[in-house]
Every structure is written in C-alpha cells, then in structure tokens.
C-alpha cells in the first residue's frame, strides 16, 4: 500500500544514493576551515524565540514572517532560522569568549524558514557556517572572505561573483535612516503593510522586502555607501586593498544590505550565475554589536554561511566532481546456511581492515546472490560451500576482468586479499 503521508512542502530527503554529494562538500568545507584554525561547534536545533528576535531583528522578514515557533510549557521556542544567533549564544554561555581572541568556530546545521519554496529555496535547508569573534580589523574580514572563496574553489565551483558592501556602524546608520525615511515617506501608500511599520522602526529593512512593489521602489533609494562615517569608510577601503592584494575579484554592490539586522560594516555575498534566481550560495559579514546586544562584553565578530543545497545544485549544473563513496570490495556467497558462520567471520576480519564486505543475509539462492552482488558493484566475489571450508581454499573472482584465482582461507588470507584489493583500487585510479 502506498504511503499517503508525504514529506512537508519545502523539505528534502537525502537518500543513500545521493549522500556522497553532501559528504564531499562537508569534507572539503571542514578541511578548508581547519586550515584557517576553525573548530566545530554543535548547538541545539531550537532556541528561545527571544534570541532570534533580539539578534536577527524584530522587523526582518525572517522574524516577522518565516519562523517556526511553538509554545511548549508556556515558553516560546523557535526552530533556528540561521546559525549565527545560536552559535554566539553558545560561545557566550560556554565562556568561549573569555578565552584568547580570536575565537573561531564552524558548524553544519539545518535551518528552518517558512518561505515560498522554489528551486534553491527550501523551508528546511542546511548551512555550513563560520563565526570568528574578537577582531575588529579589516584583515579579519579579508581572512573570512578568503576562506569562503577557498571553499568554493576547492569544490571546483566556477562562475561565482563576489559582491561586497559596507553598511556602516550605528553612527552612519542614524544619518542613513533619516535619508531613507525622507525617501520612502511620500511613497508610503504603495508600500506593503509590513513596510509601513518598518518605515517607522527600521527603514533599511524595506530595502530587502520580497514584495515586488516595495523592491521596485527601493531600486532608487539612497545608498548607504554615501553615508559612511570616516572610520567605516577607512575599514572598507582597507578590506578592498587586502582583497586586491590577494587577487580576489569582487564588485562593490551598494545595494547589498542583507536580510538580518545584526550586520555592521562589511557585508558580502557569493552569487552563482548557474542556478537561477536563488543564486546566493554564501552570505556573511561583520556584526560588531551583536554580542553586546545579547548582554555580553562588546566583542567584534564576523562570519558567513553557505547553503549546502545551493552548493550541490551549482556543482551538479556545472558538472563538478563529487567524491564517490567507497565501493563494495567483496561479496561472499554462501552456498547454504551451513557455511554462513564461516562467511560471517571472514567478512568481519576484512571489515576490521576497513573493507566493505557483504554476505547473504536474506537467504537468496546462488544465482540471485550473484545478481545482487552485481547490483552492489562488488569488485570481487567468492563462493563458499562445504568443499571450500573443508579444503581451506576458495576461488576469488575479479568481477571486472572475470579472472579467478585460488586463495587460501588460512592466516594468510587477510594479507593476501588486502594486497589484491589495493592493487585493484590503484588500477581503477590509473585506468
Ligand atoms: P543568509 O544569507 O540568510 O545568512 O543565509 C546564508 C545562506 O544560506 C544563503 O546564502 C543561502 O545559500 C542559504 N539559504 C538561506 N535561505 C535559504 C533557503 N530558504 N533555502 C535554501 N538555502 C538558503 C545567514 O544565515 C547568516 N547567519 C550568515 C552569517 C554567518 N553571517 C555571519 N555569520
């Protein structure tokens, strides 16, 4: 009977057939981050709702429209819509920010946002993200951007544009807000309901409203780059000179404001031109005020997050190489139940050496065992019957060449099989 309960709209299953794509990205991202001195942090899937209201911001689309929240035993919790808030909360709560600066962490986690699903936009998606606390220098901004750039390159992704901007500090923001208010005031009637209140509380959020009318109006709004204070201007200039020095190509896009309230100074996005409208594969920036805002000692910080589903989409569209999972090395086919115990022991001894070894556990006849081992793509097969067990030797068949050799099932077996298997793996690599 068909199961009529389906997965929720905007979520995805990753089946064992496709998991190698995730493993490839996770491995490369982790290895690259390790080279920059980042260590993994793991945090809860849900947090007190207040954490996101106070960090991501009350007037953002994420908090106003997209959070999955529940009230459980009179406390309001929310499934994390992103990784920064929870990570910073954890760094504060675990005393990590009292240690020698900078502190650097990375995470791989699921995020939840109630958005309209489309290609590259999900309601449950996954991020690889990093956060670095304790440096206010633009060299840290350059280091973080360089790391994101390295991960993208190490994955083999091409056709990506890096866009950077500075959205200033609270000082420049105050002037900018005045200019935005004046600009939007006489267009107020055309703005969406949510943007009416944004106009009063946080006019910058109108700039990333997803309503088509608001975003059309926002096209000609004043630009933050014209309102930067000398310190923010200098910070941005220095960052650009570091990027030039590293030969990292970028464009300054004064329209990037990012959809989350905590950002100050540098913001950036890496955009792929190969996956359609939802092309931002990585977004990040500096957030010097957040830790203080959450009750900690003022500590500058910055980071980025990449959407894993969007990275996979880009890699698939560009034909990038994923690392395949390891192949089944040996299928042992017992002729009947009497030799199953022997097959089991043999399999265990090879599994202990790191090989993928299978034997029949569902009671197939010999012919259908061979068909099944074909499906697994086993490199070698070995048929075991009473004769083989009693004589202490069996035939090992190379499934690609068809060649058969006789192999002793004594103490020399593991070493001999390992040599043959390693040779086979090398011959595949150099084929
Ligand atoms: P964000 O731009 O909201 O930033 O998300 C980062 C990345 O997550 C995006 O560039 C995109 O690749 C992916 N993403 C976002 N929403 C979706 C979705 N609905 N479906 C699929 N992928 C999505 C942040 O979350 C910040 N916490 C990044 C950061 C870390 N800033 C500083 N540190």
How many other CB atoms sit within 10 Å of the CB of residue 262?
23
**Cα(278)–Cα(264) distance, rounded to whole angstroms?**
24
Do 33 and 109 have their domain in common? yes
Q: How far is the CA of 330 from the centre of ligand 1 (A)?
A: 43
Within 219-274, where are the H helices? Answer: 230-245
Do 242 and 125 have their domain in common? yes
**CB of 305 closer than 6 angstroms to any ligand 1 atom:** yes
Q: How far is the CA of 33 from the centre of ligand 1 (A)?
A: 18
Q: For residue 325, what pLDDT band results from cuts at 50, 70 and 90?
A: confident
Kind of pairing, strands 330-334 and 357-359?
Answer: parallel
Ligand 1 atom 11 nearest Cα: 307
Pocket test for ligand 1, best of 102, 123, 300, 305 (most atoms within 8 A of CB): 305
pLDDT of residue 430: 58
- Residue 388: inside a domain, yes or no? yes
pLDDT of residue 426: 80
Ligand 1 atom nearest to 282, measured from its CA: 10
Ligand 1 atom 25 nearest Cα: 82
Residue 318 Cα distances to 127, 146, 269, 371, angstroms: 20, 22, 20, 34
Helix (H, G, I), strand (E, B) or coil at 367: helix
Do 241 and 312 have their domain in common? yes
**CB of 304 closer than 6 angstroms to any ligand 1 atom:** yes
Q: How far is the CA of 153 from the centre of ligand 1 (A)?
A: 19
Ligand 1 atom 4 nearest Cα: 283
pLDDT of residue 324: 85
Edge-to-edge order in the sheet of strand 69-72 = 46-48, 75-79, 69-72
Contacts of the segment 206-210: beta carbons below 8 A, 24+ positions apart: 206/180, 207/180, 207/255, 207/257, 208/61, 208/257, 208/258, 208/259, 209/61, 210/61
What domain count does the chain have?
Answer: 2
Pocket test for ligand 1, best of 87, 116, 127, 288 (most atoms within 8 A of CB): 127
The H or E element that residue 379 is part of is none
**CB of 256 closer than 6 angstroms to any ligand 1 atom:** no
Do 76 and 145 have their domain in common? yes
**Cα(129)–Cα(148) distance, rounded to whole angstroms?**
9
Do 256 and 163 have their domain in common? yes
- Residue 325: inside a domain, yes or no? no
pLDDT of 199 > 70? The answer is yes
Do 311 and 351 have their domain in common? no
**CB of 272 closer than 6 angstroms to any ligand 1 atom:** no
Q: How far is the CA of 4 from the centre of ligand 1 (A)?
A: 32
Query: Each residue of 375-407: pLDDT tens digit?
Result: 999 999 999 999 999 999 999 999 999 999 999
Q: Show the domain range for 134.
A: 19-169+229-318
Please give the average per-residue pLDDT across 223-248, as a whole number.
97
324, 314 contact by CB (below 8 A):
no
pLDDT of residue 235: 98
Query: Each residue of 236-257: pLDDT tens digit?
Result: 999 999 999 999 999 999 999 9
Please give the average per-residue pLDDT across 156-169, as a whole number.
97
pLDDT of 225 > 90? The answer is yes
Among 270, 291, 318, the domain boundary falls at 318
pLDDT of residue 1: 66
Do 237 and 301 have their domain in common? yes
pLDDT of 62 > 80? The answer is yes
Among 283, 318, 353, the domain boundary falls at 318
**Cα(288)–Cα(134) distance, rounded to whole angstroms?**
9
Which residues have a Cβ under 8 Å from the Cβ of 40 and sit 6 or more positions away?
30, 105, 106, 107, 108
**Cα(21)–Cα(315) distance, rounded to whole angstroms?**
9
Q: For residue 327, what pLDDT band results from cuts at 50, 70 and 90?
A: confident
Radius of gyration of the chain (CA): 28
How many other CB atoms sit within 10 Å of the CB of residue 392?
10
Do 269 and 379 have their domain in common? no
Q: Terminus-to-terminus CA distance in the chain, angstroms?
A: 46
130, 147 contact by CB (below 8 A):
yes
Do 355 and 398 have their domain in common? yes
Q: How far is the CA of 56 from the centre of ligand 1 (A)?
A: 12
pLDDT of 23 > 70? The answer is yes
How many other CB atoms sit within 10 Å of the CB of residue 380?
24
**CB of 43 closer than 6 angstroms to any ligand 1 atom:** no
Among 318, 347, 369, the domain boundary falls at 318
370, 399 contact by CB (below 8 A):
no
CATH number of the domain to which 280 belongs:
3.30.930.10
- Residue 371: inside a domain, yes or no? yes
- Residue 179: inside a domain, yes or no? no
Do 250 and 105 have their domain in common? yes
Q: Cα-flanking dihedrals φ and ψ of residue 129, to 5°? A: -135, 160
Do 355 and 313 have their domain in common? no
**CB of 24 closer than 6 angstroms to any ligand 1 atom:** no
Closest CA to 124 of 109, 139, 138: 109
- Residue 216: inside a domain, yes or no? no
Ligand 1 atom nearest to 120, measured from its CA: 21
CATH number of the domain to which 397 belongs:
3.40.50.800
DSSP string, 319-359: T---PPPPPP-EEEEESSGGGHHHHHHHHHHHHTTT--EEE
Angle between helices 19-35 and 308-317 (to 10 degrees): 110
- Residue 101: inside a domain, yes or no? yes
Q: How far is the CA of 111 from the centre of ligand 1 (A)?
A: 9
Do 291 and 356 have their domain in common? no
**CB of 290 closer than 6 angstroms to any ligand 1 atom:** no
Ligand 1 atom 15 nearest Cα: 307
- Residue 12: inside a domain, yes or no? no
- Residue 402: inside a domain, yes or no? yes
pLDDT of residue 431: 58
């Amino acid at each position: 009977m068909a199961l009529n309960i389906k997965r929720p709209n905007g979520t995805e299953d990753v089946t064992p057939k496709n998991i190698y794509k995730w493993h490839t990205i996770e491995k490369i991202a982790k290895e690259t981050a390790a080279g920059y001195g980042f260590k993994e942090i793991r945090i809860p899937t849900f947090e007190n709702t207040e954490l996101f209201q106070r960090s991501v911001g009350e007037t953002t689309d994420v908090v106003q429209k997209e959070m999955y929240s529940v009230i459980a035993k009179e406390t309001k919790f929310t499934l994390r819509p992103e990784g920064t808030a929870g990570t910073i909360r954890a760094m504060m709560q675990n005393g990590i920010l009292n240690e020698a600066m900078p502190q650097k962490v990375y995470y791989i986690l699921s995020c939840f946002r109630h958005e309209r699903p489309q290609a590259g936009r999900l309601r449950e998606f996954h991020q690889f993200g990093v956060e670095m606390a304790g440096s206010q220098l633009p060299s840290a901004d350059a280091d973080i951007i360089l790391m994101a750039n390295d991960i993208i390159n190490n994955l083999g992704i091409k056709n990506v544009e890096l866009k950077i901007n500075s959205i200033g500090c609270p000082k420049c923001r105050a002037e900018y807000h005045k200019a935005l208010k004046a600009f939007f005031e006489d267009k107020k009637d055309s703005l969406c309901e949510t943007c009416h209140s944004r106009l009063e509380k946080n006019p910058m959020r109108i700039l990333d409203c997803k309503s088509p009318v608001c975003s059309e109006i926002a096209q000609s709004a004043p630009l933050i780059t014209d309102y930067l204070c000398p310190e923010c201007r200098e910070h941005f200039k220095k960052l650009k000179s570091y990027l030039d020095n590293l030969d990292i190509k970028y464009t300054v896009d004064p329209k990037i404001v990012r959809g989350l309230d905590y950002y100050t100074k540098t913001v950036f996005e890496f955009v792929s031109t190969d996956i359609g409208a939802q092309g931002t594969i990585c977004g990040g920036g500096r957030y010097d005020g957040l830790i203080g805002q959450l009750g900690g000692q003022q500590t500058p910080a910055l980071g980025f997050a990449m959407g894993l589903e969007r990275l996979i989409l880009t890699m698939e569209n560009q034909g990038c190489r994923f690392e395949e999972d390891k192949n089944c090395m040996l299928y042992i086919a017992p002729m009947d139940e009497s030799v199953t115990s022997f097959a089991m022991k043999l399999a265990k001894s090879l599994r202990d050496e790191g090989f993928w070894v299978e034997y029949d556990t569902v009671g197939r006849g010999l012919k259908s065992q061979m068909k099944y081992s074909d499906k697994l793509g086993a490199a070698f097969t070995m048929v075991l019957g009473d004769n083989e067990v009693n004589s202490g030797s069996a035939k090992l068949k190379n499934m690609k060449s068809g060649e058969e050799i006789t192999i002793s099932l004594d103490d020399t077996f593991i070493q001999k099989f390992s040599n043959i298997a390693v040779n086979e793996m090398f011959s595949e690599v150099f084929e």
